[in-house]
Amino acid sequence: MRYRARAPLRIDFGGGWTDVPLYAREHGGAVVNAAITRYARGSIGIGPVRRHDRVLGRPSSGVSYTVDAPSGSGLGTSAAQNVLWVTLVKTTVANVSDRAEIADIACQVGNLLGIVGGKQDEYASALGGIHYFSFNNSVEAERLDSSPSLAGDLLSRLVLVYSGESRISGSIHDRVWERYRLGNPAVLDALSRLRDLAGAMRETLLSRDFDAFGRLLSENWECQKALDASVTTPRLEAIMDAARRAGAIGGKACGAGGGGCLVFCSAVDQRGTLAASLARQGLPVLDFDFDTYGVYLTKG
């Protein structure tokens, strides 16, 4: 028997960094993000093991993974792989259908592996959809895309591109959280504003004010850059400038920054024009839709 699963990647729109427990447990964090139809995919074989002609159990064999994204994309690939792994391995011992439980276990796995980061990626991958997440000692999830029209209208404005620069988020996280521990005022102010921006984004999405949403993306990017100089690069700034000249209302780097993917919000009916302009400059435009289901397991 073979089990197969897929776990969606995510685009973080606002509030990233404030989901990290070091900050969230002290001040409370908030994030708006969306699971997308780019996936970590994997499978695991289940079968009996015999020792001295006795069947002892059904351990896993032949675990394999693929990811539908460039290396160092900033789309939460490590967390999606952890969600995928937990889903597949848990299947060998128990039928687990609680996606929030899967997300929580995946967060614990990441901590054990020494991955510095927050919890938004695991929850987006496990739950799917567009969410406003609140973080403190627990995680609360408010689904924003209960109306299909919201997802469709937002999608018609967004362009996702790959910068061509892979990034390793761990070193950026180390620098930012060291500054936080030292009480750096710029970092404290930026984190507070990032948390508040997530709440403001929630309001713009619920009111369908996508122009305001786009402007908040850019404000979020400015706050990200205030955390540490390593969050941006000359390449990222050049892409931001090119997108603005092509009519983007706003945009930001995904994840911790330093490279990877960037997401932009276009003016109404201008998504195609913006995407074509960026593609002409040699930037890979990544097609996607929103994933509404979350981690998904099949058997056979």
Identify whether residues 143 and 174 lie together within a single domain: no
Angstrom distance (rounded) from CA 47 to CA 34: 36
Highest mean pLDDT of the ranges 34-48, 95-109, 140-154, 159-173:
140-154
Give the mean pLDDT of the chain: 91
Q: Residues near 104 by Cβ (< 8 Å), separated by ≥ 6?
A: 122, 139
Q: Which two tokens stand for residue 62?
A: 């032949």
Q: What's the pLDDT at 55?
A: 45
CA distances from 160 to 62, 147, 174, 279 (A): 33, 23, 27, 11
Helix ranges (DSSP H) in the chain: 21-27, 77-91, 99-112, 120-127, 148-155, 169-181, 185-206, 210-227, 234-245, 271-280
Identify whether residues 158 and 140 lie together within a single domain: no
For 250-296, write each residue's pLDDT tens digit. Answer: 999 999 999 999 999 999 999 999 999 999 999 999 999 999 999 99
Q: What's the pLDDT at 2?
A: 83
Identify whether residues 74 and 138 lie together within a single domain: yes
Task: Give yes or no for a contact between 288 and 160, defined as CB atoms under 8 angstroms apart.
Answer: yes
Identify whether residues 38 and 158 lie together within a single domain: no
Identify whether residues 253 and 295 lie together within a single domain: no
Identify whether residues 221 and 250 lie together within a single domain: yes
Angstrom distance (rounded) from CA 119 to CA 254: 15
For 47-65, write each residue's pLDDT tens digit. Answer: 665 555 444 445 455 667 8
Domains contained in the chain, number: 2
Q: What's the pLDDT at 299?
A: 84
The band of 119, judged by pLDDT with boundaries at 50, 70 and 90, is very high
Give the domain CATH number at 82. 3.30.230.10
Identify whether residues 123 and 214 lie together within a single domain: no
Identify whether residues 21 and 81 lie together within a single domain: yes
Per the model's pLDDT, the better-predicted residue between 171 and 177 turns out to be 177
The band of 45, judged by pLDDT with boundaries at 50, 70 and 90, is confident
Whether the per-residue pLDDT at 122 is higher than 80: the answer is: yes
Identify whether residues 32 and 89 lie together within a single domain: yes
Give the domain CATH number at 201. 3.30.70.890
Query: Which residues constitute the domain of residue 173?
Result: 154-280
Q: Which two tokens stand for residue 171?
A: 């070193």
